[in-house]
Chain A
Amino acid sequence: MATINLVDLQKSYGGNVLAVKGVNLSVADGELIVLVGPSGCGKSTLLRMVAGLESVTSGRIEINGRDVAKAEPAERDIAMVFQNYALYPHMTVRGNLEYGLKNRGTPRAEIDRRVKEAAEILEIGPMLDRKPRELSGGQRQRVAMGRAIVREPSAFLFDEPLSNLDAKLRVQMRVEIRKLQRRLKTTSLYVTHDQLEAMTLADRLVVMNGGLVEQIGTPTEVYDRPATLFVASFIGSPPMNLIPVDVMAQAEGFSALPLPPDTDIIGMRADQLVIEPPQGESIVLHGQVELLEPIGSESHLHVSLAGQTLVLRVPGRPDLADGATIKLYAPPSAMHPFNRATGRRTDSPPQA
Chain B
Amino acid sequence: MQTKRTIFPNKLLPYALLAPQLIITIIFFLWPAAQAVKSSFEREDPFGFRTTFIWFQNYTRLFNDPGYLNAAGRTAVFAVGVTLLSMGVSLLLAICVNRLLRSGRLYTTLLVWPYAVAPVVAGILWWFMFNPTIGIVPYLLDAFGYRWNHRVNGNDAMILVIIAASWKQISYNFLFFVAGLQSVPKSLVEAAAMDGAGPFKRFWTIVFPLLSPTTFFLLIVNINYAMFDTFGIIDGTTGGGPAGATNTLVYKVYADGFLGLNIGSSSAQSVLLMLIVIVLTVVQFRWVERRVQY
Residues of chain A having any CB pair with chain B under 8 Å? 51-53, 72-74, 78-80, 82-84, 86, 88-90, 99-100, 103-104, 131, 147, 151
Chain B residues with CB under 8 A of A83: 187
Contact for B193 among A53, A84, A88, A104, CB less than 8 A: A53
Which residues of the other chain, A, contact B212 by a CB distance below 8 angstroms?
A: 90
Tell me whether B206 is interfacial, beta carbon within 8 Å: yes
Known A86-B185, A86-B188, A103-B201; contact A74-B206, beta-carbon cutoff 8 A: no
Contacting residues of chain B (276-290) with chain A, CB-CB under 8 angstroms? none
Residue of A nearest to B198 (CB): A74
For residue A55, give the distance in angstroms from its CB to the closest CB of chain B: 13
Q: B188-208: which residues lie under 8 A (CB-CB) from chain A?
A: 188, 190-198, 201, 205-206
Within the complex, which residue of A80, A90, A104 is in contact with B196, where a contact is CB–CB below 8 Å? A104
Residues of chain A lying within 8 A (CB to CB) of residue B187: 82-84, 86
A86 lies within 8 A of B197 (CB)? no
Contact at A74–B185, with CB atoms within 8 Å?
Answer: no
**Contact between B294 and A86 (Cβ–Cβ < 8 Å)?**
no
Asked, given contacts A89-B210, A89-B294, A90-B209, whether A80 binds B201 with beta carbons under 8 Å apart, the answer is no
Q: Are B192 and A99 in contact (CB under 8 A)?
A: yes
Q: Which of B190, B198, B294 contacts A90 (CB 8 A)?
A: B294
- How long is the Cα–Cα vector from A73 to B187 in the complex, in angstroms? 13
Which B residues lie within 8 Å of A52 (CB)? 193-194
- Contacting residue for A103 out of B185, B190, B196, CB 8 A: B196
Residues of A contacting B: mostly? loop
Q: Is the CB of A74 within 8 A of B191?
A: no
Q: A61: shortest Cβ distance to chain B, in Å?
A: 15
Closest B residue to A83 using CB positions:
B187
Contacts of A99 in B (CB 8 A): 192, 195, 197, 205
Q: Which residues from B are CB-within-8-Å of A147?
A: 191, 195
Nearest CB of B to A70, in Å: 15
Cα distance, A153 to B255, chains bound together (Å): 68
Query: A73–B206 Cα gap in the complex (Å)?
Result: 17
Q: Are A51 and B206 in contact (CB under 8 A)?
A: no
Closest residue of A by beta carbon distance from B209: A90
Q: Which residues of A have CB within 8 Å of B193? A: 52-53, 72-74
B residues with a Cβ closer than 8 A to A are 185, 187-188, 190-198, 201, 205-206, 209-210, 212, 294
In whole angstroms, how far apart are the Cα atoms of A82 and B188 in the complex?
9
User: Can you show 24 pairs from A to B with CB atoms below 8 A apart?
Assistant: A52-B193, A52-B194, A53-B194, A73-B193, A73-B194, A74-B194, A74-B195, A74-B196, A74-B197, A74-B198, A79-B194, A84-B187, A86-B191, A88-B192, A89-B188, A89-B210, A90-B209, A90-B210, A99-B195, A99-B197, A100-B194, A100-B195, A100-B196, A103-B195
| Cβ contact of B194, chosen from A51, A84, A88, A89, cutoff 8 A | A51
Give the residue name and chain of the A residue nearest to B292 (CB).
A90
Q: From known contacts A88-B206, A90-B210, infer whether A82 and B197 are also in contact, taking CB-CB under 8 Å.
A: no
Task: Give Cα A318 to B38, complex, Å.
Answer: 94
- C-alpha spacing A151/B197, complex, angstroms: 13
The minimal Cβ–Cβ distance linking A107 to chain B, given in whole angstroms, is 15
Q: Give bound CA distance, A72 to B196, whole Å.
A: 9
Q: Closest A-chain residue to B202, C-beta based?
A: A103
- A197 CB to nearest B CB, Å: 20
CA distance A82 to B191 in the complex (A): 8
B197 proximity list for chain A (CB < 8 A): 74, 99, 103
Residues of A within 8 Å of B188, CB to CB, are 86, 88-89
Q: Tell me if B194 and A80 are in contact (CB < 8 A).
A: yes
CA distance A261 to B190 in the complex (A): 51
A183 and B157 alpha carbons, distance in the complex (Å): 70
A90 to B192, CA, bound (A): 13
In the bound assembly, the distance between CA atoms of A86 and B192 in angstroms comes to 9
What residues on A are CB-neighbors of B195 within 8 Å? 74, 99-100, 103, 147, 151
Residue from A72, A74, A104 whose CB has the most chain B CB atoms within 10 Å: A74
Bound state CA distance, A100 and B190, in angstroms?
12
State the 10 A-B residue pairs at the shortest beta-carbon distance, nearest first. A90-B294, A100-B195, A103-B196, A86-B191, A86-B187, A74-B196, A90-B209, A73-B194, A73-B193, A82-B187
Q: Cα distance A80–B193 when bound, in Å?
A: 11
- B201→A86 contact, CB < 8 A: no
15 extra interchain contacts, Cβ-Cβ under 8 A, other than A74-B197, A79-B194, A80-B194? A52-B194, A53-B190, A73-B194, A82-B190, A84-B187, A86-B190, A88-B188, A89-B294, A90-B210, A99-B195, A99-B205, A103-B197, A103-B201, A104-B196, A151-B195
- Report whether B191 and A80 are in contact in the complex, using a CB–CB cutoff of 8 Å: yes
Cα of A103 to Cα of B204 in the assembled complex, Å: 13
Residues of B within 8 A of A51 (CB): 190, 194
Residues of B within 8 A of A88 (CB): 188, 191-192, 206
A76 to B, closest residue via Cβ: B194
Interchain CA distance A78-B190 in the complex, whole Å: 13
Nearest A residue to B189, CB-CB:
A86
Q: Give the chain B neighbours of A100 by CB distance below 8 A.
A: 194-196
Q: A99–B193 Cα gap in the complex (Å)?
A: 11
List the A side residues contacting B201 at CB < 8 Å: 103
> Across the interface, which residues of B come within 8 angstroms of A84, CB to CB?
185, 187
Nearest A residue to B194, CB-CB: A73
Distance in Å from the Cβ of A101 to the closest Cβ of chain B? 9
Instruction: Write out the residue numbers on chain A whose beta carbons fall within 8 Å of the beta carbon of B210.
Output: 89-90
Smallest CB separation, A161 vs chain B (Å): 12
The smallest beta-carbon distance between B138 and chain A, in angstroms, is 46
In angstroms, Cα B190 to Cα A74, docked, is 10
